């Protein structure tokens, strides 16, 4: 299948008072159309920075990438038109109603006022927000808030949806609902989903393929079972052990000599 995201040597160095910090050193990756990609890594590995580069929020300091054929550096406008992004913090004003946020978002994607109103109603139906349209976003539960964030990101029917830790802070029921929603998006609309997560069960259950980053580079990639086999020692290994083995922070192998007796 065709690649919808491809990145080569993507890098970002931040200049700070205490010298340069290489948040992302070299990311090469390919995401195929209609794929759900799990982007994993320890805290500070460069997940969010990578996501912010792929969504045009942050200019890379090295490398190149295309999203749905649009080049990040030369056509950020094109990238914006084909991708949706939900940040960790979401992005709604607590004092504004769900309806107003959805309509404004439609208008930001250059829909006419009438089209934006229709689209807001459609999105509300699709994401089960219809009853909540006239509530202020501050009055939504965590799960409802997440559905609204995603609805906003889907306004323009993006080819690619970027989700940064979408289920952090949600209760188990809301998480399961969100997983269903992500699968439905892919199955019904063919949307490619690029999601970061710390929950390995989430990655296991949801992602077709995983990319593990560590210290700003891709440490491993493959289907969950391939990674378990290659790094966890067996296809029955837990993703937890596999992840720890890849990022080098796992328990020592059983046959290793003890450090001290």
Residue ranges that bind another protein, judged by CB under 8 A: 14, 52, 55-59, 77, 80-81, 83-85, 87-96, 100, 104-105, 107-110, 152
Q: Of the two residues 83 and 242, which places its CB atom closer to another protein in the complex? A: 83
Nearest approach, Cβ of residue 87 and another protein (Å): 5
Q: Of the two residues 113 and 249, which places its CB atom closer to another protein in the complex? A: 113
Nearest approach, Cβ of residue 127 and another protein (Å): 16
Nearest approach, Cβ of residue 156 and another protein (Å): 8
Which residues neighbour 234 within 8 Å (Cβ) at sequence distance 6 or greater?
228
Nearest approach, Cβ of residue 88 and another protein (Å): 8
Q: Of the two residues 61 and 225, which places its CB atom closer to another protein in the complex? A: 61
Nearest approach, Cβ of residue 142 and another protein (Å): 15
Q: Of the two residues 156 and 209, which places its CB atom closer to another protein in the complex? A: 156
Q: Of the two residues 88 and 225, which places its CB atom closer to another protein in the complex? A: 88
Nearest approach, Cβ of residue 136 and another protein (Å): 10
- The C-alpha atoms of residue 90 and residue 150 are separated, in whole angstroms, by 9
Residues 120, 99 contacting (CB under 8 angstroms): yes
Q: Of the two residues 27 and 86, which places its CB atom closer to another protein in the complex? A: 86
CA distances from 88 to 194, 221, 230 (A): 13, 23, 31
Matching residue, tokens 């799960």: 143
Q: Of the two residues 82 and 205, which places its CB atom closer to another protein in the complex? A: 82
Nearest approach, Cβ of residue 166 and another protein (Å): 13
């Amino acid at each position: 299948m065709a690649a919808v995201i491809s990145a080569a040597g993507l890098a970002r160095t931040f200049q700070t008072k205490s010298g340069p910090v290489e948040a992302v050193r070299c990311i090469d990756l390919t995401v195929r159309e209609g794929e759900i990609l799990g982007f994993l890594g320890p805290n500070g590995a460069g997940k969010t920075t990578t996501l912010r580069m792929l969504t045009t929020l942050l200019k890379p300091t090295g490398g190149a990438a295309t999203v749905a054929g649009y080049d990040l550096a030369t056509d950020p406008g094109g990238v914006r038109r084909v991708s949706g992004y939900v940040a960790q913090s979401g992005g709604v004003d607590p004092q504004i109603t769900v309806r107003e946020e959805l309509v404004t978002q439609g208008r930001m994607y250059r829909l006419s006022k009438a089209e934006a109103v229709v689209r807001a109603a459609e999105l509300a139906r699709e994401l089960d927000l219809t009853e909540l349209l006239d509530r202020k976003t501050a009055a939504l539960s965590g799960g409802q808030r997440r559905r609204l964030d995603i609805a906003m990101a889907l306004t323009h029917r993006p080819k690619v949806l970027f989700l940064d830790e979408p289920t952090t802070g949600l209760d188990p029921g809301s998480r399961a609902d969100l997983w269903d929603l992500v699968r439905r998006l892919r199955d019904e609309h063919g949307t490619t989903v690029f999601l970061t997560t710390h929950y390995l069960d989430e990655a296991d259950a949801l992602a077709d393929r995983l990319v593990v980053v560590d210290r700003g580079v891709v440490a491993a990639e493959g289907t969950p079972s391939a990674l378990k086999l290659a790094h966890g020692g067996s296809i029955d290994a837990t993703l937890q052990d596999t992840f720890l083995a890849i990022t080098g922070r796992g328990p020592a192998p059983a046959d290793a000599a003890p450090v001290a007796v």
